[in-house]
Every structure is written in C-alpha cells, then in structure tokens.
Amino acid sequence: MGSLYTAVTNIGNAVKPNDPAGTFFFLKLFTISDGTMPSFFVFVSFLGPLLGISLGFDSINSEQSKGTLSRILSHPIPRDYIINAKFTGALFVVSVMFFALSFLVLGIGIMVIGIPPTAEEFVRIILFTMLSIIYVAFWLNLSILFSVRFKQAATSALAGIAVWLFFTIFYRIIVNLITKVLEPSKLASPRQLFLHEKLKFGLKQIMPNELFNEATNILLVPSVRSLGPLTMEQIQGAIPGPLPLGQSVLLIWPQVTGLIAATVICFVLSYIAFMRREIRSR
C-alpha cells in the first residue's frame, strides 16, 4: 500500500512527453518511486525471499520434533504425498497472495487514475505476477530442503536467511572484487573491455534476485531493449522504442529458465532427502 501510494502521487511526474514508453502508463504503478519508499517490484524482490523462507523453514522438522510426522506415516499414505503437499500448499498460498496484490494495485490504479490498462499491459502484469511466484517458489523449496536436512527449525531458518543475505549483500561484494582485480588497463582494446563487462554480467547471473530483477525490468519497463553489454555493431541501426511483448518474453527467457531450473533442483534435492530420511516414532 505504501509503494502504491507513492506511485499514485508521483505518476504525473513520471510521465514525460515524447517518452517511448509513454503508452505503457499503467505499468509505472509497479515501478516508479520518489525515493521515500521502494517501488512495488523492489518490495517483492527484497521481501519475497523472506516470505518463501518463512513458509517452509519448519515444514518437515517441526512435524518430526512434535511426533506428528511418524503418526501421519503410520497411515497408508505414500511418503511423497507429504513433501508434495508441503510445497503445493505453500505455493498455493503464495499464488493467491500475489494475484490478490496485483489485482489490488490494478483496481486502485483504475479508481485513482481513471483509465484502464491496455491488453498488453494486463498481460505484462500477469507475467510479472507469475514470475514473482516462481521467484518465491525457489526460496520456498530451498527452505524446505533445509527443513529436511536440519533437525531444528531455528537452524533451517538461519540457513535460509544466511543464503539470502549472501546473495543479497556478500556475493555482490565478491563479484566487485573479482572484476576489480581483472579490470583491464585504460589502454586495453574495446574487445577486452567488452569481455570484462561480459564476465561481470555472467557472474551476476548466479544470483536469483538478479535474475528476477532483470526479467522484471524487461517486463515492466518495455523501453529497456537489452540485458548485458552490447557492442557498437549491435547498437548501430537500432531504433529507440518499446519492445513488443513477444520480444520481451524472448529476451527474459534465459532468466526465467534459470529461476525455474533452480526451483526444480531445490525441490528434487528436498524430495530425495525426504524419501531417504529415516523417520521413527518417539
């Protein structure tokens, strides 16, 4: 609500004449900010991991410490139903919450601004909502994995928060140190400078929050036409203007695939660990 209030009060200043993205007026509700509060998608990027961790850090180990897990398994229920239900139940809660938030922003925006979103804006907002769900699902699966691996709920929660802090703060510092050490001299050729920027861009692709931010930036700001460094040959002849929806989806497809792959890997690891875990009654 705070980010929406900031967007509504500053929407007039955000729209500029001759802006190539001026036709996508409604998307600015999710992206603009006057500096007092972060924008909507920044809130999702920062607080989404904490939501996923909070929903999954005690999903398995708390059941076992209370003795309810062995009681459930004493019934003729396949073991994989439990880990599947833990994930799908939390994912359903996250999906309902994000779609409710997105439609809330849409509804309030229509009432305050007085204009409805176009069809392309609506599809972009829905894709952003689905991308947010995938992003939170990664952290949810990671916290479920820690819940399976560690016996104490506090340990699994701290492990999830530690991974979140590492990717949010410390990994950026490590990348900056590596690129600073490998930075070419001022007399380096343009190709060496391009390869250095490409290396820096590639190292940042390991961070889930960076993948989410890049994909969100392309979806909600159609005037952004590329990700990563470009050569002069690639820039030459390009006509400034917003990208069509299809081209934006093609541009963010590697980032979306990376998030989905990381989510699937975490789920598979937690599934295998849970199926091999020895569970005894107290």
Q: pLDDT tens digits for 232-282? A: 554 555 556 677 888 888 888 988 999 999 999 999 999 998 888 766 655
Going from the C-alpha of 181 to that of each of 121, 173, 177, 196, 269, the distances in angstroms are 43, 12, 6, 11, 35
- Does 29 or 167 have the greater pLDDT score? 167
Q: How far apart are CA 41 and CA 46, in angstroms?
A: 9
* Average pLDDT score over the chain: 82
| pTM score of the predicted model | 0.86
Q: pLDDT tens digits for 126-178? A: 999 999 999 999 999 999 999 988 888 889 999 999 999 999 889 888 988 98
Question: Both tokens of residue 209?
Answer: 């929050």
Q: pLDDT tens digits for 73-128? A: 777 888 888 889 999 999 999 999 999 988 888 888 888 777 788 888 899 999 99
Residue 47: pLDDT over 90: no
Give residue limits of the domains in the chain.
Answer: 40-100+117-225+239-276
Compute how many other C-beta atoms are within 10 angstroms of the C-beta atom of residue 224. Answer: 16
Q: pLDDT tens digits for 12-28? A: 555 555 555 456 777 88
Q: pLDDT tens digits for 57-73? A: 888 888 877 878 778 87
Q: What is the mean pLDDT of residues 173-187?
A: 83
Is-contact 113 8, C-beta < 8 A? yes
Q: What is the mean pLDDT of residues 208-237?
A: 74
pLDDT confidence of residue 228 = 62
Backbone φ and ψ for 36, nearest 5 degrees, come out as -75, -35
**Strands (DSSP E) found in 110-248:** none
Going from the C-alpha of 54 to that of each of 6, 154, 157, the distances in angstroms are 27, 11, 8
Q: How far apart are CA 11 and CA 30, in angstroms?
A: 11
